[in-house]
Chain A
Amino acid sequence: MSPQKQATFRIWRGDRLGGEFRDYTAGVSEGMVVLDAVNHIQATQANDLACRWNCKAGKCGSCSAEINGLPKLMCMTRLSDLPLDQPVTVQPMKAFPAIKDLITDVSWNFRVKKNIKPFKPRSPDAPDGTWRMAQADIDRVQEFRKCIECFLCQDVCHVLRDHQKHEQFTGPRYLIYVAALEMHPLDTEDRIDELRNTQGIGYCNITKCCTKVCPESIQITDNAIIPLKERVVDRFYDPFGWIWRWMKKKSDRQSPNAVKR
């Protein structure tokens, strides 16, 4: 076996009041991910290094951080995909308040979600209390329900990250959440007013940064936000509506099927 390669990890250490990057060295073995390195450093050199993780399988969305400046899941980022001749920087998500080291206060997300009107099904289709739905009509909803609530899309969205509009804009995660409810074939609730008023969908200017970082490859902008914007435009006459439709024609995106009106 070849001698073990070493790499430097430049990890942000600090708390609510501030902090600094500190360098740690760790061995690199085949298949290793960033979370392995962080856990190794934690176990051997810095027992009090704080980070969140649960599944180490890309399923729970706990281990979000910024790796070399890009929002990613630590457990799904392979070291072999990073340039190891320079330090790997690992820092907490920027869009949320720091707590300690790699941990941020993401409680805002939970509060936002609680304010969205819950699922309200139509009455059952069959006498035994069950419903019938075609697979084709739920494909889109299932795409949105793949979301693991890692909040990486929230972290990258400039409306939250740079402009700190947390009071006015709920962010891409909750736009796809509403899309999943609105496009659910059984749902009877109406959330269009809120989309414009409390959710602030108008703040989104379709930069698609959220879609690019989503570890579940959910087409957040094309499949959720744009169709929702159309619904909002349909309801509230909007002087920008025609520009909008004109732009939409120009882009040859896929039309979302299975949309409940």
Chain B
Amino acid sequence: MPEYETFQHDVLVIGSGGAGLRAAIEASAAGVSVGMVCKCLLGKAHTVMAEGGIAAALANVDDRDNWKVHFADTMRGGQYVNQWRMAELHAKEAPDRVRELEAWGAVFDRTKDGRILQRNFGGHKYPRLAHVGDRTGLEMIRTLQDHGVHQGIDVHMEICILALVTDGGRISGAFGYDRERGRFKIFRAKAIILATGGIGKAYKITSNSWDCTGDGHSLAYHAGAELIDMEFIQFHPTGMVWPPSVSGMLVTEGVRGEGGILTNADGKRFMFDFIPDNYKAQTADNEEEGWRYTQGDKNARRPPDLLTRDHVARCIVREIKEGRGTPHGGVYLDISWIKKRIPNAEEHIKRKLPSMYHQFKALGDVDITKEPMEVGPTTHYIMGGVHVNADTQMSDVPGLFAAGECAAGINGANRLGGNSLSDLIVFGKRAGEFAAKFAKENQHGKIDNDKIDVYAREALEPFENSAGENPYSVQRDLQEVMQHNVGIVRDEGEMRSALDHLKTFWERVGRVGVIGNRDFNPGWHTALDLKNLLTVSEAITRAALERKESRGAQFREDYLEKGERFSKVNTMIRKAADGTMEVRLAPLPEMPDYLKQIIEENK
């Protein structure tokens, strides 16, 4: 075997988004040596894009809020297939984690009495999202980054991990390459935390950044860990639809939280047309009440524009399909109308939604203080991911942990806005703590050099085929298929055909070729990402086929209703001994009575 540069850490964190940074800080504080690798530069991970806020029941704006209400909201939003223990821990611990960010230098917007301000968001009963204008993710990542670099963490930037290495079933290290020179590296570690984020790049229209290629999901799967809930992909209702170059770019839910309304081409507020039964009691049935809610009236109920994302996205699709869409195939989202209600509306909008104002002005020639935006659904977030123990975040591969978007369980069938940023810090911290503990209790495992040789050879194959297929073409075709066949509206036939396509894509991946050398070569990097994109795409499709019902983010035209049989199960995916993908339904853990009661009380 050629000599590869080898690093050794007690704990290796893969990913430098909110989850990775928080995990690394915690592990380091526990006194073990910590390395962190990421594909991007530090401070540029996808988390930086988050806009609207972090959900935590601080009760600064409405003192009726507390962890129990947050828990009940999260479970209702997830259609009760969430891992209740994760939802419980999340709701209980999020406030402390947010306050901790402030102690590390974060500067959140303030209430009149000088505390952290909170805003309304879909599915949250009370104003709950701590925020900084509409750039909350930047604030979170910068705070963690600036704090983290002083905690003795070894940061390896622009390194892409290609495979996890196991020793007799437990984790022992990771293998990857540096983007700059294309040299292979080995990272030996007693424990590894995956914090690699999402899978948005499996779809054509997405709000996600380039590095969301499902690497962590795929790495864990190939290392033998089980994935859960992979069918649940969140399509955010409001992405930009025009011009084409920005289609999919997110328009934060904060726009609706601040009073923005959805209308169709006839100028009608269609969200009032259909309010699901389990939300009727807490949703306004007239425009006046909805407006009062957004302005902080505690006796008003939330407008239907702020129902959960799965529901809003489907209503938008319906309007478009039935011919009431806008010229570019979306619906209108209007915040400018608030000038009828409040003085200085223009200033107010610019102050509360500065990035949105800038984004539309600079990229779409639309002044959102004067005219409505055109919006439509965009692939945004995956609820599914690595199945972990709720308390420790360890997967079923000993020593392999996961946190953040690549882990799963807390969100069930649909995530509430703001619950991801809080998930990152709550479970990032837990993953760091328990990975450090694991590292203290275990020795380094062995690295199998023969396996490493195989990984290295496979990674270099595209160079031997310089006349082979263009990796970008395979990526584009895959994104088309996922968008059309396994998108927001699904049925058996289309998904079966997606599986056939995936088979041909696997064959094409074997034939891709790259030109040039190993120095920072995006063609090569894209070729290597394909394996991950294909793995997660297959997992999404197989899980979605298995769940023969519509629930939360999964909407099946051939099974329009919720099915009793599926109300208490999760889909689990694992790599079988023969290398094929195995799907099974697993019963949800039984919820203890005190939590059942909380849900009942908050119905």
Name A residues whose Cβ lies closer than 8 Å to a Cβ of B.
Answer: 15, 29-33, 36, 42-44, 47-62, 76, 78, 99-101, 103, 106-107, 110, 113-114, 118-119, 121, 129-135, 138, 141-142, 145-149, 181, 184, 187
Q: Which of B244, B476, B524 has the most CB of A within 10 A?
A: B244
Whole-angstrom distance from the CB of A43 to the nearest CB of chain B?
Answer: 4
Task: Give the distance in Å from the alpha carbon of A44 to the alpha carbon of B515 in the complex.
Answer: 12
Interface size class of B (residues with CB under 8 A): 35 or more
Task: Give the distance in Å from the alpha carbon of A100 to the alpha carbon of B359 in the complex.
Answer: 30
Whole-angstrom distance from the CB of B242 to the nearest CB of chain A?
Answer: 7
Establish whether residues B149 and A29, one from each chain, have CB atoms under 8 Å apart when the complex forms: no
Establish whether residues B139 and A76, one from each chain, have CB atoms under 8 Å apart when the complex forms: no
Task: Give the distance in Å from the alpha carbon of A141 to the alpha carbon of B109 in the complex.
Answer: 11
Whole-angstrom distance from the CB of B488 to the nearest CB of chain A?
Answer: 22
14 A–B contacts, CB within 8 A, in A order: A32-B245, A36-B245, A47-B470, A47-B516, A48-B515, A50-B521, A54-B211, A55-B46, A59-B137, A62-B41, A106-B41, A119-B105, A141-B107, A149-B44
Our pick among A15, A54, A56, A59 for the contact of B355 (Cβ within 8 Å) is A59
Establish whether residues B363 and A33, one from each chain, have CB atoms under 8 Å apart when the complex forms: yes
Task: Give the distance in Å from the alpha carbon of A55 to the alpha carbon of B50 in the complex.
Answer: 11
Q: Taking CB as reference atom, which chain A residue is nearest B211?
A: A54
Establish whether residues A130 and B99, one from each chain, have CB atoms under 8 Å apart when the complex forms: yes
Task: Give the distance in Å from the alpha carbon of A60 to the alpha carbon of B249 in the complex.
Answer: 14
Q: Mark B104-126, 1 if CB is under 8 A from A, else 0.
A: 11010110011110000000000
B521 contact set on A, CB distance < 8 A: 47-48, 50
B109 contact set on A, CB distance < 8 A: 135, 142
- Contact residues of B between 43 and 99, Cβ < 8 Å to A: 43-46, 48-49, 99
B41 contact set on A, CB distance < 8 A: 52, 62, 106
Establish whether residues A118 and B147, one from each chain, have CB atoms under 8 Å apart when the complex forms: yes
A42-B472 in contact given A31-B243, A31-B246, A48-B522 (Cβ < 8 Å): yes
Task: Give the distance in Å from the alpha carbon of A195 to the alpha carbon of B207 in the complex.
Answer: 40
Task: Give the distance in Å from the alpha carbon of A119 to the alpha carbon of B524 in the complex.
Answer: 41
Establish whether residues B49 and A29, one from each chain, have CB atoms under 8 Å apart when the complex forms: no
B116 contact set on A, CB distance < 8 A: 130
Q: Taking CB as reference atom, which chain A residue is nearest B41?
A: A62
A134-B139 in contact given A29-B244, A62-B41, A149-B43 (Cβ < 8 Å): no
Q: Taking CB as reference atom, which chain A residue is nearest B149?
A: A114
Our pick among A54, A62, A101, A148 for the contact of B138 (Cβ within 8 Å) is A148
Establish whether residues A49 and B522, one from each chain, have CB atoms under 8 Å apart when the complex forms: yes
A135 contact set on B, CB distance < 8 A: 109-110
B132 contact set on A, CB distance < 8 A: 142, 145
A131 contact set on B, CB distance < 8 A: 102, 114
Q: Taking CB as reference atom, which chain A residue is nearest B466?
A: A47
B49 contact set on A, CB distance < 8 A: 55, 57, 59-60
Q: Mark B506-546, 1 if CB is under 8 A from A, else 0.
A: 00000000111101111110100000000000000000000
A42 contact set on B, CB distance < 8 A: 472, 522-523
A132-B113 in contact given A44-B472, A110-B42, A141-B107 (Cβ < 8 Å): yes
Q: Mark B338-378, 1 if CB is under 8 A from A, else 0.
A: 00000000000000000100110011100000000000000
Task: Give the distance in Å from the alpha carbon of A154 to the alpha carbon of B394 in the complex.
Answer: 42
Our pick among B114, B209, B358, B519 for the contact of A60 (Cβ within 8 Å) is B209
